[in-house]
Amino acid sequence: MHKSARSKKLVNGQEFKKCKICKENKHYTSFYGNRDKSFSYCKLCESKRVKNRQREFKQKCVDYLGGKCSNCGYDKCLSALDFHHTDPSNKKFGIASYSKARNCWKINSSEIMSELDKCILLCSNCHREKHDSLNTEYQNRTDKF
Ligand SMILES: [Zn+2]
Ligand SMILES: [Zn+2]
Ligand SMILES: [Zn+2]
């Protein structure tokens, strides 16, 4: 007798599992983890969740720093805005690397804010220009590129 009740856990023979977000029945290989223990969300939904989380996090950081490029005022596209450490020697961590941590804003908000205080917001164009001028300031070599 193998009439087992439908448990949340995938047991032998149950190849499909319902994703808690998109409510679709998907093969267990569509989930992270393995057959016996896998995520409640399918890979697709999980990666969307991560992207949203990262976007939300960046939006908060951007808002915190005024929401636009401090040089030219650009504010159209979130992903074209960068955080620039005004004093690289002061840099504890890159803001971008932090966005990958789970629930980063909730747990480390004060740490992040103190790091953001060392940053200015620049659009990618201004950011590149900034680093270009920094490079020539610090090294007298312009033949690098
Ligand atoms: Zn899903
Ligand atoms: Zn700019
Ligand atoms: Zn920079």
From start to end of 19-142, where are the E strands?
25-27, 31-33, 38-42, 81-85, 119-123
Q: Is residue 139 helix, strand or coil?
A: coil
pLDDT tens per residue, range 76-124: 999 999 999 998 888 877 777 666 655 555 556 788 888 999 999 999 9
In contact, 16 and 28? CB cutoff 8 Å: yes
In contact, 97 and 83? CB cutoff 8 Å: no
* Cα 130 to middle of ligand 3, angstroms: 7
* Cα 51 to middle of ligand 1, angstroms: 14
Determine phi and psi for 26, rounding to 5 degrees. Answer: -130, 155
Burial of residue 12 (CB within 10 Å: 0-12, 13-18, 19+) is exposed
| Cα 73 to Cα 66: distance, rounded to the nearest angstrom | 10
* For range 29-37, the mean pLDDT: 86
pTM (2 decimals)? 0.70
In the chain, domain spans: 3-45, 65-143
* Cα 134 to middle of ligand 3, angstroms: 9
Confidence of residue 36 (pLDDT cuts 50, 70, 90): confident
| Cα 106 to Cα 94: distance, rounded to the nearest angstrom | 17
* Cα 76 to middle of ligand 2, angstroms: 11
Q: Is residue 18 helix, strand or coil?
A: strand
